[in-house]
Amino acid sequence: MYSKKAIRALLVSMFAVLVSPGLAAKGLEYSYADVGYTKFNGDDFDVAGATVDASFGAFDLLALRARYTRGWTDNYPKVQDPSGDPDMNSFQLGVRPHYEIVKKLDVYADLLYSNTKFNGDRSRTDIGWIYAGGMRWQMLKWMELNLAGEYRSGSIDAAFVVVNPVFRITRNIDLSVKTSQSSDDSDYFAGLRLKF
């Protein structure tokens, strides 16, 4: 049985694909979905799973953001869940205002509501916010570099440095590799960027 959140995310993504050509922002593209494998190595537990991270360039200076991760934990504290390996569903929703400083160089800020639920012998929900600021630079015709600083509130409560190179494969498909590093936690992503 599919979760209601997953079905809603799929419907929003399908709607975005249908209406995006008429509303997409100019300059660097802000209508895309990164789809791939994700790995989180935390101080308390690890997570491996799949992520869909979508950006919809609805306006010239503002993109709508949505991210969903389905993961499976390892080394989860048995005090919080006796099974030791609950499933994880994480959903973020928010906005990304952006501005082109010079051609092929944008600065941006992210404000994302975050809801992460762990389901095992016990259920636990972690609600927080993600605040980020960074830059997107089209270094070469076939390579874009994204650098950012990110703060995550909630149970993680940490600041991260984010490095995300994106390599062009075809006109509408890129390879996206991302790492987010803090003093205790690290986050990795590898997948495809599908432009729409």
How many folded domains does the chain comprise? 1
Which has the higher per-residue pLDDT, 122 or 139?
139
Q: Give residue-wise pLDDT tens across range 55-66.
A: 999 999 999 999
Taking the whole predicted model, whether its pTM rises above 0.85 is answered as: no
Q: What would the two tokens of residue 56 be?
A: 């919809």
Q: What would the two tokens of residue 48 be?
A: 């491996």
Residues in the chain: 196
Domain of residue 28 covers 4-195
- The three-class DSSP label of residue 19 is helix
User: CA-based angle 93:43:84, to the nearest 5?
Assistant: 85
Work out the pLDDT band at 18, boundaries 50, 70, 90: very low
- The three-class DSSP label of residue 64 is strand
Q: What would the two tokens of residue 142 be?
A: 């076939």
Backbone angles phi, psi at 81, to 5 degrees: -155, 110
Q: What is the mean pLDDT of the chain?
A: 88
Backbone angles phi, psi at 5, to 5 degrees: -65, -40
The CATH number of the domain holding residue 57 is: 2.40.160.20
Q: Give residue-wise pLDDT tens across range 63-120.
A: 999 999 999 988 888 787 787 788 999 999 999 999 999 999 999 999 999 999 998 8
Q: For residue 24, what pLDDT is reported?
A: 40
Q: What residues contact residue 12 under an 8 Å CB cut-off, 6+ apart?
A: 54, 66
Work out the pLDDT band at 177, boundaries 50, 70, 90: very high
